[in-house]
Amino acid sequence: MAFAVLLSGCATAGTEIEPRLRAARTGGLPSSKRFDLTAPSRALFLNKRLKSGRVMQGFGFDPRNKRLFVAQLVDEPSADASGDLVINRLDFSGRRTGHMYLRGFGHGISIGVEPSGKNTYLWVEVDPVGASARGTRLARFKFVHGKTLTGDSPALAKYRPIPGIRSVTAAIDPVNRRLAMRYRKNGRRRVAVYKLADIKARRYHKRLVDVALPPQKGEVFQGYALYGRYLYTYYGTAYGPGNPKPGNARLSTIDLNTGKRIAGPTLTKAGASLPYREPEGMAVYRTASGQMRLFFGFASGDLGERRANLFYKNVLIK
């Protein structure tokens, strides 16, 4: 198993201290069930309007407080280059109940959602670089309706577990309290998994796994989710001349102890009748009765008036 780097010192809110390097062996994730990607898909909601007219990006659930958060680029021509986002807060019917703006954060392809009592904390990329503004660190902050944060806001706690990384995003396993960090370093895409408590405490040397991801082979990446031992990935593009109905939206399962794709890519025809239909975002949710759901989204609608649509699969296999 690959050796890792890292240990960091303490940091105050809004700052980050570079981790000091040291060798540390990754541990591995215990066996768990996984979602059956061939099972039927069900809709949570369709055709919901968000704060911005742009496509939905990453999303995640706060099951404790019954909230859903969806990221979008703002309705401004410079948003792609600047990394300006709006975070929508919704109920589970898709009704908007709040929003906040993030100036200079990233693209929002995946976000982590962490319940904390009656509050919700979000994990979003920050300090972007490049023409499409991809983050180089993770930021954790409390969602506050109507608030605007910038990349140097004291409300942020910033994390960079591995030096020199780019295109950093997060996803949270809400059941096992782990965080997956997808990142790029030295031209390779990788994912590292940490206990949520360890990354918050900056115990970066305690990461559980850190593996290279399978080559994308031309697939357009649109999101990922973490549950147990497995990472679920989402690829595809909107309908168009080279992508007629039912489209090319595909789901895959990756064993994080090996980095190997063990299921998929599996074509999904969920929402096949949607106009436009661009794959966007993934998340995991556990219902009050204990049912596990793997969610994936589609943007639909006309240019400048995109809508959000969420579907899920809920069959687990060994």
Give the pLDDT of residue 154: 97
Q: What is the 3-state secondary structure (H, E, C) of the chain?
A: CCEECCECCCCCCCCCCCCECCCEECCCCCCCCEECCCCCCEEEEEEEECCCCCCEEEEEEECCCCEEEEEEECCCCCHHHHCCEEEEEECCCCCEEEEEEEECCCCCCCCEEEEECCEEEEEEEECCECCCCECCEEEEEECCCCCEEECCCCCCEEECCCCCCEEEEEEEECCCCEEEEEEEECCEEEEEEEEHHHHHCCCHHHCCEEEECCCCCCCCEEEEEEECCEEEEEECCCCECCECCCCCCEEEEEECCCCEEEEEEEECCCCCCCCCCEEEEEEEEECCCCCEEEEEEEEEEECCEEEEEEEEECCEEC
The model's pLDDT over 10-58, given as tens digits with 9 standing for 90+, comes to 343 444 443 443 334 456 899 999 999 999 999 999 999 999 999 999 9
The token pair that represents 291 in the structure block: 């049912």
The model's pLDDT over 264-292, given as tens digits with 9 standing for 90+, comes to 999 999 999 999 999 999 999 999 999 99
Mean pLDDT estimate for the chain: 92
Q: How far apart are CA 67 and CA 97, in angstroms?
A: 9
Instruction: Give the residue-averaged pLDDT of 124-128.
Output: 97
pLDDT of residue 245 exceeding 90: yes
Domains of the chain: total: 1
Q: How far apart are CA 265 and CA 241, in angstroms?
A: 22
pLDDT of residue 9 exceeding 60: no
Residue at 118: amino acid letter: K
Give the pLDDT of residue 218: 83
Report the share of the chain in percent with pLDDT over 90.
89
Q: What are residue 200's phi and psi, to 5 degrees?
A: -65, -35
Instruction: Give the residue-averaged pLDDT of 177-201.
Output: 97
pLDDT of residue 121 exceeding 50: yes
Instruction: Give the residue-averaged pLDDT of 105-122.
Output: 97
Instruction: Give the residue-averaged pLDDT of 209-232.
Output: 94
Instruction: Give the residue-averaged pLDDT of 118-132.
Output: 96
pTM over 0.85: yes
Report the share of the chain in percent with pLDDT over 70.
92
pLDDT of residue 194 exceeding 50: yes
pLDDT of residue 2 exceeding 80: no
CATH number of the domain encompassing residue 288: 2.115.10
The model's pLDDT over 76-96, given as tens digits with 9 standing for 90+, comes to 999 999 999 999 999 999 999
Q: Which domain holds residue 253?
A: 3-317
Give the pLDDT of residue 26: 53
Of 24 and 151, the one with more pLDDT: 151
Give the pLDDT of residue 27: 60
**For residue 80, how many C-alpha atoms fall within 13 Å in the half-sphere facing its CB?**
5
